[in-house]
Amino acid sequence: MYLYHFGLAELPFTLTPNTSFYCDLQVHHEALEVLLTALKTGEGFIKVTGEVGTGKTLLCRKLLNEMPDHFVTAYIPNPYLSPAELRQAIASELGIVGIDELDQHKLTQSIERELLRINQTGRSVVILLDEAQALPQESLEALRLLSNLETESRKLVHLVLFGQPELDERLATRELRQLRQRITFSYQLRTLNEEELGRYLHHRLQIAGYKGPPLFTSASVRILHRACRGVPRLANVLCHKALLLAYGAGRHQILLKDIKAAVIDTEDASGLGLSPYWWLAGGAVLGLGVVGTAWWQGWVPL
């Protein structure tokens, strides 16, 4: 790969949500502040939505890392679970033993007892659910019932839902109006503007160990922004391919033609009005990018 070529210690534009690469841009800083404030004020239901690739999972993991010691956390990364499976996952995260031997009634009682025990120690439980738009209807109702648990002065559990805009659409239905009314804090992640995207790219390269002159010019960032529409995940894909192309050509600078070729090679990127045959001028190099990207995503060995 291109690590040694560019003097990098690790790949800067992977798709894995790695909190060491977290860039404290305004949109993510505001979201994190909203979440921490809502939790500290004792709110029961909190919701964060955003388009695919805008950084919801990274924000969720960052929140887990920043959570004050006062909170006991339960993280459910894949909530496509039935109510029974969801209760089991929560019980497991809370450290309840013998859950496989309990029926649903006794499991619910065990969860309630554990929540009360934690509350009596002066702490609070936070359940974070990523990809919450995938929750079945019955499981959303189970969460609402779980949020009913409270003492005379405080909630026993706080729930934070991270999801795509489809979550908002589901919550807007009449069937989920009771749950919708319990959401007291919400935040919608937007995409990055051009200036933020430039900072984001520079930050990731620095974290990865790059120490040379800027790899992406202002013109490159402008084209990247148009192509990725400000979506960080898509920017990562395009930048990775552009680095592969520069490496394949033996260059230490990213050219506009590298970015344009990466755009043509990426299905979800905006086409920028380029001909689908534009890349033929550098087909061999683009082929390196395709193969390198396949290795990066674990498709073929290199």
Q: What is the pLDDT of residue 288?
A: 52
Tell me which long-range contacts 227-231 makes (C-beta under 8 A, separation of at least 24): 227/259, 227/263, 227/266, 227/269, 227/270, 227/272, 228/197, 228/269, 228/270, 229/191, 229/270, 230/190, 230/191, 230/192, 230/193, 230/194, 230/196, 230/197, 231/51, 231/52, 231/53, 231/54, 231/191, 231/192
49 within 8 A of 95, measured Cβ to Cβ: no
Q: pLDDT tens, 91-107?
A: 999 999 998 888 999 99
- Listed as ranges, residues in the chain with pLDDT below 70 are 152, 271-302
Q: pLDDT tens, 151-167?
A: 767 788 999 999 999 99
**Predicted TM-score of the model (pTM):** 0.86
Domains present along the chain, CATH in parentheses:
26-189 (3.40.50.300), 193-296 (no CATH)
Distance CA 185, CA 300 (A): 44
Q: What is the pLDDT of residue 23?
A: 95
Per 3-state DSSP, the chain is made up of helix, strand and coil in percentages (nearest 5) of 55, 10, 35
Angle, helices 83-93 vs 137-147, to 10°: value is: 50
Q: Rounded to a whole number, what is the distance in angstroms from the first to the last CA of the chain?
A: 9
